[in-house]
Amino acid sequence: MVNVIIAQVTDRLELSTHSPAQTQQIGNRLGQLLQPGDVICLAGELGAGKTTLVVGIGHGWGALEAVNSPTFVFVNEYSNAGGGRLYHVDAYRLRDAADAESIGLPEMLNDTAGTLLIEWPERALACLPPERLWIELTWTGEETRALRIEASGERYRQLIKMMG
Ligand code: ADP
Ligand code: MG
């Protein structure tokens, strides 16, 4: 991990990756650190690598099911051996807070055994808690991506510290 760090300050970590596998590795590391109640926002254009990162997160978290893209179903739910639940939401098609409620986002956030990963978080911002980890992925070349990870709140500052 150390070789890809570009910058690290208390509430921010910037990484670069040069392959989908490396992006998954970063996800894997993050997935191992996740706890129930965590909210991870994944922003970035189509093809930026959000879902690729999620596959790694799911693996590191210990998902018992295969992790894939929920684009056509809004949300995929995974479980691990510890009885945790991992929600992977794709908010691309949500128009407003009522839409976010209709897919059950408030219930996912209230689930004390649940961890939330949400792609296109901008579309559900009104429903998301102010404390969260915000990851912005940017296309920098065919095989390269930049990841900017920003923490809001102490829990997520700790998470960034552990990731670095
Ligand atoms: P999103 O969910 O943001 O739309 P996906 O993860 O579904 O993005 O797709 C990213 C695409 O870019 C995949 O086809 C992946 O193989 C490719 N890719 C190439 N290089 C990288 C990289 N370094 N990190 C992540 N994805 C990459
Ligand atoms: Mg996606």
Give the distance (Å) from ligand 2 centre to CA of residue 91. 10
Q: Indicate the fold that domain 4-163 takes in CATH.
A: Rossmann fold (3.40.50)
Question: Per-residue pLDDT for 164 more than 90?
Answer: no
23 lines ligand 1 (CB under 6 A): yes
Q: What is the per-residue pLDDT for 72?
A: 66
Mean pLDDT of 147-164: 95
Q: Tell me the C-alpha to C-alpha distance, in Å, between residue 126 and each of 41, 97, 121.
A: 13, 6, 10
Residue 114, pLDDT > 60, answer yes
> Given a cut of 90, is residue 133 above it in pLDDT?
yes
Q: Ligand 1: which residue has its CA nearest to atom 20?
A: 143
pLDDT at 2: 47
Please indicate whether residue 52, judged by its CB atom, sits closer than 6 Å to ligand 1.
Answer: yes
Instruction: Kindly state the tokens that stand for 136.
Output: 């912005």
Locate the ligand 1 atom nearest the alpha carbon of residue 19 and give its number: 23
For position 119, what pLDDT does the model report? 96
SS3 113: coil
Mutational pocket test of ligand 1: of 22, 26, 46, 52, the residue with most ligand atoms within 8 Å of the beta carbon: 52
- pTM equals 0.94
| Under 8 Å between Cβ of 4 and 21 | no
Mean of the per-residue pLDDT values of the chain = 93
Q: Is the pLDDT of residue 3 over 60?
A: no
* Per-residue pLDDT at 68: 82
All residues with CB under 5 Å from ion ligand 2? 50-51
Structure tokens at 121: 């978080």
Backbone dihedral angles phi then psi of residue 116, each to the nearest 5 degrees: -110, 130
Give the pLDDT score at 139. Answer: 98
**How much is the average pLDDT of 100-109?**
95
Q: Is the CB of 139 under 6 A from ligand 1?
A: no
Average pLDDT of span 120-141? 96
In this structure, the chain runs to a length of 164
- Map out the domains of the chain as residue ranges: 4-163
How much distance in Å is there from the Cα of 138 to the middle of ligand 1? 10
pLDDT mean over 99-127: 96
pLDDT at 71 over 60: no
Looking at residue 96, its pLDDT comes to 87
- Is 44 near ligand 1, meaning CB less than 6 Å away? yes
